[in-house]
């Protein structure tokens, strides 16, 4: 099919071209036009990616830019290789942008369509990141999405937004330079940048120190983007101060795409190295477990709702990292299901936060107590989101975590189930507590979160409630339907993701037929109910039995210093963040030296 051969770059190139045209024409366009153009572009991109996914199911779609096809098995140019997983994630990203642009309809007054241009650039960066088959090209898309994200964070030029954007930019820029250093190292050893050629290079010298250093640098950069402990601190600053529509994208897709990058590099480049596999299984697993717990605990301590959701993102992305680090097919399939489920739910929750900012004029849980009664449908959405975060056994999130749990059990790592339930229970409990306080007026006026930092904030108010509720509800509903279908497609495609068909991509051999069967959905893990119960208990304790909590808190006295120091780690001082990044990088390198 001729038309299919030119299709692969279109979801990236199309939005880029439209963004450029929009910028050129931005002075002359009346207000709803940029909104309409951006909406049409994202919808078109989403549909196109779904189409690509359908065709990639048979064999991966390969596109070499400029017609530079590999010669004698050596890549000459830069290629896109689209497998069903990359295409599905790209379609999800398109969908999330579409919903966000509906949510943000009329959010910005000014005529210049800079917001839409940046959003389209942001989207093409992420989709390019999912499609690319070249390490340096990956860096370019990584950078495009980072720069668009930096600009969108500080877009409104409010003081706190500027400070948050500064922290975000500095930490993530260090990450990009580490990524580039990793590219230089592996290029100096292998002499190629294409994933397939790199994989062959790694297979030829799996114990090489330079290759391993490259892995450390590349993974650290992606862990910074994925906000995993100890690289996580920028995230709560950036998410809390960015405009709500932008936070939807940050938490829904940008952070978790770092995990996709790690999985991609690990499976399609570094898999032949035994040392690297070992460190992934041990160190990244521990890192994911830590992030899951620390993110959950920190979420409980917040009263700034967006900051609360930001910490819950750290926790849930930690669960994704656990799934990747288990290094097993079922768990990896679970990661991609969870990726989409979490993105939908968290996106909806950030939209609820945006509704509160717009209609109630605050984002502070304590100040908002009882003020959400008039907009109760938003409260229903928030409570539903909280239950889903906690692991209520319906929908994509629970489908994904069941796969991950089954993988952990199969590998004899049952303790991870407790970690996952603890993290999910804490974040779900925090969201439920806030919805009870804001929308039902329950709970004491000031809880134990009294001293949390907060500040005046407001977003544009004259948008109707239904306009913002429609995308919120749509995301939540989408996270509930189609679990079977998504699990089937993903578990079938995961095998291809794990064993990229380099003989077909580089040597032009026949594609390995997609004989892989879908994995059967694992049974619902009993820990799901455990974490839901934990979430309900946390919410009930902090809302109803204040006195009891106070008595109980006496028993928690010993961990108070831990909580205080945890909070101190997120001080907002970018120098500390950079220091922790350096420490994390050193520890990562040390782990290799030891093992």
Tell me the residue length of the chain.
595
Residue 169 lies near another protein (rule: CB under 8 A)? yes
Pick from 102, 104, 126, 147 the residue near another protein by CB under 8 A.
147
- Which position among 44, 105, 187, 544 is part of the footprint of another protein (CB under 8 A)? 187
- Applying CB under 8 A, which of residues 2, 6, 157, 594 lies at the interface with another protein? 157
Q: Is 159 in the site for another protein (CB under 8 A)?
A: yes
The verdict on 164 binding another protein (CB under 8 A) reads yes
Residue 453 touching another protein (CB under 8 A): yes
Complex with another protein: residue 477 or 583, whichever CB lies closer: 583
Query: SS3 breakdown of the chain: % helix, strand, coil, rounded to 5?
Result: 75, 5, 25
Q: Are 348 and 385 in contact (CB under 8 A)?
A: yes
User: Which tokens is 594 given?
Assistant: 């030891």
Q: Which of 306, 243, 355 is nearest to 453 (CA)?
A: 306
Specify which residues 132 forms β-bridges with.
80
Nearest Cα neighbor of 224 from 259, 194, 192 is 259
Give 210 or 282: the residue with its C-beta nearer to another protein: 210
Among 13, 282, 562, 582, binds another protein (CB under 8 A): 582
Tokens of 329: 């097919």
- The verdict on 177 binding another protein (CB under 8 A) reads yes
Which one, 85 or 161, has the nearer CB to another protein? 161
Nearer to another protein among residue 167 and residue 228 (C-beta): 167
Among 33, 162, 465, 541, interactor with another protein by CB under 8 A: 162
Binding segment for another protein (CB under 8 A), chosen from 179-187, 276-284, 330-338, 512-520, is: 179-187
Spatial separation of the C-alpha atoms in residues 379 and 39, rounded to whole Å: 27
Of 177-185, 343-351, 399-407, 459-467: span binding another protein (CB under 8 A):
177-185
By CB under 8 A, residue 143 contacts another protein: yes
Joined tokens for residue 423: 């993290």
Q: Is 507 in the site for another protein (CB under 8 A)?
A: no
| Span 123-142, contacts to another protein by CB under 8 A | 136, 140
Residues 6+ apart with CB under 8 A from 47: 91, 94
**Which one of residues 92, 122, 129, 150 is an interface residue with another protein (CB under 8 A)?**
150
Distance, CA of 320 to CA of 318 (rounded, Å):
5
* Footprint (CB under 8 A) of another protein, residues 288-327: 304, 307
H helices present in 191-302, as ranges = 195-204, 209-225, 233-241, 244-249, 255-265, 274-279, 285-300
Cα separations (Å) of 178 from 139, 183, 223, 270? 11, 9, 11, 17
Beta bridge partners of 62: 81
Tell me if residue 79 falls in helix, strand or coil.
strand
Which CB atom, from 507 or from 573, has the smaller least distance to another protein?
A: 573
The site string for another protein over 459-488 (x = CB under 8 A, - otherwise) reads: ------------------------------
Residue 437 engages another protein in binding (rule: CB under 8 A): no
Q: Provide the 3-class DSSP secondary structure of residue 450.
A: coil
Taking the CA of residue 304 as centre, how many other CA atoms within 13 Å lie in the half-sphere pointing to its CB? 19
Closest contact distance (angstroms) between CB of 481 and another protein is: 37
Peptide bond preceding 230 in cis form (omega within 30 of 0): yes
Stretch near another protein under the rule CB under 8 A, chosen from 343-351, 377-385, 491-499, 574-582: 574-582
Our CB check for another protein shows the closer of 140 and 394 to be 140
Give the shortest CB-39-to-another protein separation in angstroms: 27
CA dihedral 70, 73, 79, 85 (to 10 degrees): 150
Instruction: Give the interface segment with another protein, choosing from 113-121, 225-233, 266-274, 454-462 (CB under 8 A).
Output: 454-462
Stretch that binds another protein, among 97-105, 187-195, 248-256, 427-435 (CB under 8 A): 187-195
Instruction: Spell out the SS3 assignment of 228-254.
Output: CCCCCHHHHHHHHHCCHHHHHHHHHHH
Tokens of 183: 């590219």
Find the shortest distance in angstroms from Cβ 33 to another protein: 27
240 binds another protein (CB under 8 A): yes
Interface with another protein, residue 265, by CB under 8 A: no
Judged by CB under 8 A, the stretch of 149-157, 218-226, 409-417, 502-510 that binds another protein is 149-157
Q: Measure Cα distances from 322 to 179, 219, 507, 587 in Å.
A: 22, 14, 34, 19
Instruction: Choose, by CB under 8 A, the member of 33, 55, 74, 160 that binds another protein.
Output: 160
Residue 425 CA to residue 419 CA, distance in Å, equals 10
What gap in Å lies between CA 158 and CA 522, rounded to an integer?
A: 48
Q: Phi first, then psi: give them for residue 453, nearest 5 degrees.
A: -70, 145
CB of 277 to another protein, least distance (A): 25
Within 63-134, where are the H helices? 84-103, 114-131
Residue 450 CB, nearest approach to another protein (Å): 10
Among 545, 573, 590, 595, binds another protein (CB under 8 A): 573
The region of 65-73, 236-244, 263-271, 403-411 touching another protein under the rule CB under 8 A is 236-244
Question: Based on CB atoms, which residue is closest to another protein, 29 or 140?
Answer: 140
Stretch that binds another protein, among 67-75, 175-183, 201-209, 267-275 (CB under 8 A): 175-183
Distance, CA of 25 to CA of 21 (rounded, Å): 6
Q: How many residues bind another protein (CB under 8 A)?
A: 50
Rounded Cα distance between 440 and 436, Å, is: 5
Distance CA 508, CA 138 (A): 23
CA proximity to 483, closest of 330, 338, 329, 349: 338
Contacts with another protein by CB under 8 A lie at 136, 140, 143, 147, 150-151, 154, 157, 159-167, 169-170, 173-174, 176-177, 180-181, 183-185, 187-188, 193, 237, 240-241, 304, 307, 451, 453-456, 571-576, 578-579, 582
């Amino acid at each position: 099919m001729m038309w299919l051969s030119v299709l692969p770059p279109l979801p990236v190139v199309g939005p880029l071209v439209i963004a450029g045209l929009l910028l050129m024409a931005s002075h002359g366009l009346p207000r709803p036009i940029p909104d309409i153009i951006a909406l049409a572009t994202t919808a078109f991109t989403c549909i196109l990616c779904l189409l690509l996914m359908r065709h990639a199911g048979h064999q991966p779609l390969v596109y070499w830019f400029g017609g530079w096809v590999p010669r004698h098995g050596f890549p000459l140019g830069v290629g896109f290789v689209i497998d069903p997983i990359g295409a599905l994630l790209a379609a999800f990203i398109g969908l999330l942008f579409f919903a966000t642009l509906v949510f943000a309809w009329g959010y910005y007054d000014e005529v210049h369509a800079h917001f839409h241009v940046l959003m389209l650039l942001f989207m093409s960066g992420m989709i390019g990141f999912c499609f690319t088959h070249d390490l340096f090209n990956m860096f370019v898309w990584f950078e495009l999405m980072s720069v668009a994200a930096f600009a969108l964070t500080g877009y409104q030029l409010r003081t706190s937004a500027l400070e948050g954007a500064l922290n975000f930019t500095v930490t993530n820029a260090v990450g990009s330079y580490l990524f580039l250093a990793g590219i230089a190292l592996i290029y100096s050893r292998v002499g190629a940048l294409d994933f397939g050629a790199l994989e062959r290079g790694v297979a030829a010298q799996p114990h090489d120190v330079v290759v391993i250093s490259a892995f450390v640098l590349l993974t650290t950069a992606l862990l910074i983007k994925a906000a995993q402990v100890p690289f996580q601190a920028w995230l709560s600053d950036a998410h809390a101060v960015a405009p709500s529509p932008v936070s939807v994208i940050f938490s829904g897709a940008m952070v978790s795409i770092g995990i996709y990058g790690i999985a991609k590099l690990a499976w399609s480049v570094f898999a032949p190295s035994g040392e690297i596999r070992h460190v992934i299984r041990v160190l990244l697993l521990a890192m994911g477990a830590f992030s899951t717990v620390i993110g959950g605990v920190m979420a409980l301590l917040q009263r700034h709702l967006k900051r609360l959701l930001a910490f819950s993102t750290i926790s849930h992305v930690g669960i994704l990292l656990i799934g990747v680090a288990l290094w097993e097919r079922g768990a990896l399939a679970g990661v991609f299901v969870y990726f989409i489920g979490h993105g939908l739910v968290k996106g909806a929750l950030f939209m609820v936060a945006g509704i509160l900012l717009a209609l109630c004029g605050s984002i502070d849980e304590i100040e908002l107590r009882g003020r959400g009664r008039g907009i109760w449908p938003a409260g229903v959405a928030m409570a539903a989101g909280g239950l889903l975060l906690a692991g209520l056994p319906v929908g994509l999130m629970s489908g994904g975590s069941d796969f991950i749990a089954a993988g952990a059990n199969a590998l004899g790592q049952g303790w991870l189930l407790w970690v996952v339930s603890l993290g999910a229970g804490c974040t779900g409990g925090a969201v439920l507590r806030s919805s009870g306080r804001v929308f039902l007026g329950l709970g004491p006026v000031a809880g134990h979160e009294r001293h949390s930092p907060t500040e005046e904030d407001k977003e544009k108010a004259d948008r109707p409630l239904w306009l913002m509720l429609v995308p919120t509800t749509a995301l939540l509903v989408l996270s509930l339907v189609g679990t079977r279908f998504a699990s089937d497609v993903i578990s079938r495609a995961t095998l291809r993701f794990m064993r990229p068909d380099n003989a077909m991509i580089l040597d032009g051999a026949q594609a390995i037929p997609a004989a892989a069967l879908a994995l059967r959905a694992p049974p619902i893990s009993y820990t799901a109910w455990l974490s839901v119960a934990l979430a309900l208990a946390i919410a009930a304790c902090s809302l109803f039995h204040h006195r009891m909590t106070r008595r109980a808190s006496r028993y928690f006295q010993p961990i108070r210093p831990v909580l205080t120091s945890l909070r101190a780690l997120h001080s907002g001082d970018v120098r500390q963040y950079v220091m922790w990044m350096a420490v994390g990088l050193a520890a990562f390198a040390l782990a290799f030296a030891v093992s």
